[in-house]
């Protein structure tokens, strides 16, 4: 994908939006946000599919209106009338925000849902495939209009780069964030003068990844003067081993960019920073298990709700 170039003002506006979304994200339990997040991404696909169908004929065919009445009760009656019926697809997403995700709007975190939802690699796949359909369907009408399930499947199979699909890239992002969770869990071990891995940490890490356990043990026993740098070396290890296929095929940077803006990554990094600054970062027993650490991360909320 091409890298967009933004003006100074656009970057400033983007930064403000990013900060607002991040604050909202930290004020919602992860399981609640994640459920809405996954649903929001599916709704984006539905909106783009409906928009493609409407723009194909310049109006919503009767079979689509039936689907909209069932899935979006009240929308067809509430949508503004216009001499440009193709605008129906543009009105649908605001309706979804106001109706389907009204609870997030009332609780003050709809901006975060929209911000992260639009940036998810799957959403990017839906938009890329919609642009393809918009161009190709204007040239030649498809023999049959795909159902939503068919359209969404085709969008996720659409190629991000070379033979790599958006679905494959999404799985790689999730895999790397799972790896990040382990690394952030280990972070306190690299912040003490004398480092010794608790037995249960060694056991769990061995179960998660024997190769990573060996690398971590070597890093700890090396007694680097700059332990923070040593901890960062674990991320480099992840790029080499967890994302080896992406690195070999030339789409590693894309995965890393997507992982860096994923809401779960944001919460992992924020909670890890909190742990390092509080007694939660104490490596003395009891050091939390990986499962307990992730459970605490998923449930924690920022103290400030401003």
CB of 107 within 8 A of CB of 28?
A: yes
Q: What are the structure tokens assigned to 270, written together?
A: 């924020």
Cis-peptide into 286, omega within 30 deg: yes
Q: Which two tokens stand for residue 45?
A: 């696909």
What CA–CA distance (Å, rounded) separates 31 from 16?
A: 25
pLDDT tens digits, the chain, 306 residues: what are they? Answer: 444 555 665 556 666 888 999 999 999 999 999 999 999 999 999 999 999 998 888 888 899 989 999 999 988 776 655 555 556 767 899 999 999 999 999 999 999 999 999 999 999 999 999 999 999 999 999 999 999 999 999 999 999 988 899 999 999 999 999 999 999 998 887 776 656 778 888 899 889 889 988 888 777 666 555 556 677 788 889 999 999 999 999 999 999 999 999 999 999 999 988 887 765 445 455 788 899 999 999 888 875 443
Structure tokens at 211: 């190769």
pLDDT recorded at residue 304 = 44
Phi, psi (5° rounding) for residue 160? Answer: -75, -45
For residue 306, the model assigns a pLDDT of: 38
Element (H, E) at 32: helix 30-57
- Name the one residue in this structure whose structure tokens are 């030339």: 250
**Angle between the N-to-C axes of helices 166-186 and 121-139, in degrees from 0 to 180, rounded to the nearest 10:** 170
Per DSSP, the three-state class of 226 is coil
């Amino acid at each position: 994908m091409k890298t967009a170039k933004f003006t100074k003002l656009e970057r400033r506006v983007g930064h403000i939006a990013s900060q607002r979304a991040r604050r909202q994200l930290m004020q919602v339990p992860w399981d609640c946000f994640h459920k809405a997040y996954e649903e929001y991404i599916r709704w984006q696909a539905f909106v783009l599919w409906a928009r493609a169908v409407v723009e194909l004929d310049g109006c919503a065919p009767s079979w689509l209106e039936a689907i909209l009445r069932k899935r979006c009760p009240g929308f067809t009656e509430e949508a503004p009338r216009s001499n440009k019926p193709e605008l129906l697809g543009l009105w649908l997403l605001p309706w979804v925000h106001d109706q389907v995700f009204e609870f997030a709007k009332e609780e003050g975190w709809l901006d975060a849902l929209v911000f992260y939802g639009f940036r998810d690699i799957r959403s990017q796949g839906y938009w890329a495939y919609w642009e393809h359909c918009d161009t190709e369907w204007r040239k030649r009408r498809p023999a049959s209009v795909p159902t939503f399930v068919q359209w969404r499947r085709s969008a996720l199979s659409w190629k991000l780069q070379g033979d790599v699909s958006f679905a494959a890239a999404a799985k790689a992002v999730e895999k790397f964030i799972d790896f990040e969770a382990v690394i952030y869990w280990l972070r306190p071990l690299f912040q003490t003068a004398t480092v010794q891995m608790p037995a249960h940490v060694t056991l769990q890490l061995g179960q998660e990844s024997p190769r990573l356990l060996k690398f971590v043990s070597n890093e700890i026993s090396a007694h680097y003067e700059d332990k923070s740098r040593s901890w960062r070396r674990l991320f480099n290890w992840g790029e080499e081993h967890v994302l080896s296929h992406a690195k070999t095929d030339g789409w590693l940077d894309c995965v890393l960019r997507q992982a860096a803006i994923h809401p779960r990554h944001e919460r992992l990094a924020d909670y890890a920073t909190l742990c390092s600054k509080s007694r939660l970062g104490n490596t003395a027993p009891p050091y939390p298990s990986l499962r307990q650490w992730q459970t605490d991360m998923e449930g924690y909320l920022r103290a400030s709700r401003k």
